[in-house]
Chain A
Amino acid sequence: MEHGPAAEWKKENSEGFKSRLGIIMFAAFTPIYLAFILITVINPRLMAINVGSLNLAIVYGFAIIIIAIILALIYNRICSKREKQDEDTEKVEGKIE
């Protein structure tokens, strides 16, 4: 059997860009989650504050889930756009037929 290398180091042009974008998205999301934990553990009574007809705990909890989904979609959109650009450039340069 052929083992071959465990990893294929096929370099994508957009790799570094996507990786940096991932870190930025992660840095945007993490404080939202951390603040949620900190409010809960430092002053849980704050979670009972009314927000509209609901309370902060419910609104914040839903917001974390919805923000996560929105960030995921934004990330995918930017990455896909960049991948397409790179592909097009390579086509123009004749790297891909």
Chain B
Amino acid sequence: MNYKAEPAAIAIFVAFVAAVLVISYMFSRRAKTASGYYVAGGKIHWAVNGIAFAGDYLSAASFLGIAGMIAVAGYDGFLYSIGYLAGWMVALFVVAEPLKRLGKYTFADAIDAKFKSRGVILAAGISTLVVSLFYLIPQMVGAGTLITPLLGLPFEAGVVLVGCVVILIVATAGMTSTTWVQFIKGGLLVIFSIVVVVLVLTRGISVPPDQYHNFATLKVANIETLTLEDPSYQVIKEFQVGDASKGSTFVKLSKDNIETIWKLDKANNVLEETQIITQPASGPALYNGAPKEEGKFYFVGHLSEIDGQTSVQTGSLDPFTFIEKVKDGTVVRWGKQVLTDETSKITVYYQIPTSGSDVLIPGLKFKVDPLRGATPGDRVNFVSLMIALFLGTASLPHILIRYYTVPSPAFARKSTIVAVIAIGLFYILTLYLGLGSMTSGNLDITNENMSAPLLARSFGLGLFAVISAVAFATILGTVSGLIVAASGAVANDLMNKFLRMNLSEHAMVVAGRITAIVVGVIAMGLGILFKSMNVSFLVGWAFAIAASANLPAIIMTIFWKKTTGKGVAASIVVGLASSIILILLSQDTFNSVYNLTNVTAPVPISQPAIISVPLSFITLVVVSLRTQKSKMPNTEIAVARQ
């Protein structure tokens, strides 16, 4: 899909970045002390902190990833919204206040407060670094993916641009400027999502959408010989994918010397038009037979009928009727098939009409229904993912440090509640953003992450520019939070406490700034290295790793009196190692990271949380019980002295 950079988008984005940098500069005086740098002096108002929580948490995966996933796979994208929000209940009810009471700068502090053990500090510091880096990769990849369509710059430019801006924000004013960036971004994100959703509902649904390419069908006169009723088309070649009875048949036709690919619908004896990207052995790819710039590749996303009617204009809809219309309609989704034709690779996108009632239940992306071929492994994966989302939120280091930016446990609680309301509202909106994109003819099937910005573009370039700038701000906010978390782990946990370097206030700030630069540069490198990785994939892993490594340590430190330092350190190490090993050996990783498509991976499931979280809990309990300090003698002495 070809995008032109909008000058307005560039102007708004530049203005936003400039404003953020000015704020950072203004606050840089406050970041002279360690507490000023790492936790904004602990003086952030709880309401501001709450919105900043939302700005910290709602990453590119939430805004772009979920809306995009709903746009192509329906309800399954919304499952992420539900899981991400449910995770805040763990954070609010179980973790928020006790963690605030125990810690000072980092969550390792909080755990260490009870044990005063270097092993615990080392394990927690490393886990913070690893989780932050894992979470940074998808953010950087997201930045690179967005920059091309939004500002017309190459992928690497996006990664470097975001990296440099974030390093400037964090290195100048640490958590203070990070907080304000997140506050502004969180506020803008919720407000403009509301604006877009109101516009979507006001516009209603049109079948077919306005200015939509009418995808043609050709009647087949004789299916055996593949003769068409329209003699102006000439059959060139047939492609059979899978076996003859269940597989799909694609047909290459030629008319006026233009070659097209069509999908055979055997039940109705018709050929359906597809969209193709042809990659010749050398030279640039052709989009529907023409160079990308010519714009021959169409935006998609439509309902083919509502209640059996093929021409409908609903007009303005309320939020419930909007969903009802989708449910009563047929959504045309798009499948993808790669064909090889002589020397060129042809990627075919073909229509999959799906009943609206199937779009609005789980199962199009995640296989859960055995009747539709879900294996036990598929279903375990699904449960495991939902567990990781539930338990991961309260274990993410960049979320946990926000508890230390407010003055008291009560304010930590209040700001979490503001966060839950803002984030809950946003996640409800994601369903409308996704379904809006799915039905209004603005979907780019080659880049689902662009769904929300493209939906905004259908309401005018001004809104597109604003949403694009918000999308970038989204990445800036989350990345700066992650880098603050990582620099806290290095300077406070590892250097100050583990290595016992006894850094002065000033030295801790300097160490934090240097770490911010180093981590920022590493993140840029990883972002470019993992360019082709699926963003939502990596975010799911970061949640699983965080839940496995940190959650048992946090929960048991707070609630189980027999927990020992060795138990905590062991559980962090086991959780971290087991989740990463399970991921590295999973089939998904074999297929999409190592590109080993025909190799069976040793681990049958791709979501590790269901194994690694219990393993980490068990480790903590077993090691703690074996390393109990005998308290009996002391008690006896105490009794004897009385």
Contact = CB atoms under 8 A, between A and B. Distances in A.
A6 B427 CA distance: 36
Contacts of A66: 424
Given A22-B93, A75-B92, A7 B102 contact: yes
A57 B362 contact: yes
**Which DSSP category, helix, strand, loop or mixed, fits chain A's interface?**
helix
A92 interface: no
Interface string B299-335: 0000000000000000000001101100100000000
Interface in B313-372: 320-321, 323-324, 327, 357-358, 360-363, 368-369, 371
Contacts of B421: 69, 72
Interface residues of B, number: 59
A29 B89 contact: yes
Interface in B100-141: 101-104, 109-110, 112-113
Nearest to B366: A40
B104 A55 contact: no
B428 A26 contact: no
B43 interface: no
Contacts of B420: 68-69, 72
A83 B360 contact: no
A24 B14 CA distance: 48
Interface in B388-404: 390
B86 A44 contact: no
Given A26-B93, A44-B361, A7 B103 contact: yes
Interface in B518-554: none
Nearest to A79: B413
Nearest to A77: B417
Given A7-B101, A48-B357, A55-B361, A36 B82 contact: yes
B360 A58 contact: yes
B505 interface: yes
Contact of A37 (B110, B386, B414): B386
A57 B366 CA distance: 14
B410 A57 contact: no
A63 B635 CA distance: 52
A66 to B, nearest CB: 7
Contacts, number: 141
A51 B622 CA distance: 47
A45 B34 CA distance: 55
A43 B403 CA distance: 39
B386 A55 contact: no
Contact of A44 (B323, B368, B409, B505): B368
A89 interface: no
Contact of B93 (A7, A9, A25, A57): A25
Max chain B Cβ within 10 angstroms of own Cβ: one of A3, A64, A72? A72
Interface string B36-80: 000000000000000000000000000000000000000100110
Interface residues of A, number: 48
A96 interface: no
A65 B82 CA distance: 7
B98 interface: yes
B324 A53 contact: yes
B97 A22 contact: yes
Contacts of A44: 361-363, 368-369
A50 B422 CA distance: 29
Interface in A11-42: 12, 15, 18-19, 22-23, 25-26, 29-30, 33, 36-37, 40-41
A20 B535 CA distance: 38
A85 interface: no
A48 B86 contact: no
Contacts of A53: 320-321, 324
B161 interface: no
A22 B94 contact: yes
Contact of B362 (A1, A3, A8, A40): A40
B360 A57 contact: yes
17 contacts: A6-B104, A6-B112, A7-B102, A7-B104, A10-B101, A25-B89, A37-B386, A44-B361, A44-B369, A53-B324, A58-B360, A64-B85, A65-B427, A72-B89, A73-B417, A76-B414, A83-B410
Given A47-B361, A61-B78, A69-B421, 6 more contacts: A15-B101, A19-B97, A26-B89, A44-B368, A65-B82, A68-B424
